[in-house]
Structure 1
Amino acid sequence: MTVRTTIRRASQADAATLCAAEKATALTAGLLVSQPHELQVEAFEQKIALLEQDGLYLVAEHEGTPIGHAFLEPMTLIALSHVFSLTIVVHPGHLARGVGTVLMTELMAWAESHPRIEKVELRVRATNSRAIALYKRFGFVEEGRFEKRIRLPDGSYIADLSMARFVCQSGS
């Protein structure tokens, strides 16, 4: 079931809501790397402020309620300045409703309109088949696999995949 979703840029006022959503998401082992207690509102405030200047931080809403968020963040080193890192979180209770697709559509359109961006990278848990399928639909390919990279609370491990998409710029 697809829900009507609007997309807007994140603001400082979103920090607490987005942090709470990630804490709730982190309760499901294997979705996020962070544990709930490791997520702090201040870090969300800082990331939103940083990406207002040099990147993109989006919030997906349904009837005024945030149901997902995502961002593209530039690498800081000059040799990597053409690469942006992608993070996307569909909030609990809103999976399989098209939220990730809407966010990815906006992120990739923005990336394609910025000549600096040549490559978008992400990491995803090897067990997150829904997210992997989404990324593949948007042209991402697996570039590497990090075995036993994520240790779950029960002591078991899962692999992380490195995926990337080369962004085609007009005229290049």
Structure 2
Amino acid sequence: MAQNLQQATLAGGCFWCLESAFNGLKGIESAYSGYAGGEVKNPSYEQVCQGNTGHAEVVRVTFDADEISYKELLEIFFALHDPTQLNRQGNDVGTQYRSGIFYHNREQKEQAQALIHELEEQQLWPGDIVTELVEVNNYYQAEDYHQDYFSNNPQNTYCNMVVAPKLAKFRQKFANRLKQD
């Protein structure tokens, strides 16, 4: 069966939550935690967490565009985080936790601009959307221990306090889009 595989690179706070959510969706081939948008080549997690590499924590999603559209991915992305928080998500503070769409081509850029405009007109959030929209650059996949982090570390305090509640809301809202086990 031929697939129409495409990639999306998205930043919305800690990558553990986004990666876990996207990997659970129908039409997703893979979602990997990584870093993008910075100046340091092949940064480590520790370097990115210091907030001086310019990188954001991102998720690189490979998806079948015949099963799930780029726009649908973006709608889910905006439901998973607060795009009005500048350089933070909740208690995670710093430029590495910024909201960002790292587009791969002109079509993705135009679709993202149109959706942001649509969401701003709907006034779903009390503040303005601050999601940066930039061409993907300097993407690096995060260390192996960050992949499938939530499923591999169920006892982690951060996962229990932050990721689990977000994923529970996500699974309820997008139940019809989830992969069947």
Structure (1/2) with the larger strand percentage: 1
| TM, length-normalised to structure 1 | 0.30
Q: Normalising by structure 2, what TM-score?
A: 0.29
Greater helix proportion: 2
Specify which structure has the bigger relative contact order, considering alpha-carbon pairs within 8 angstroms and separated by 6 or more residues.
Answer: 2
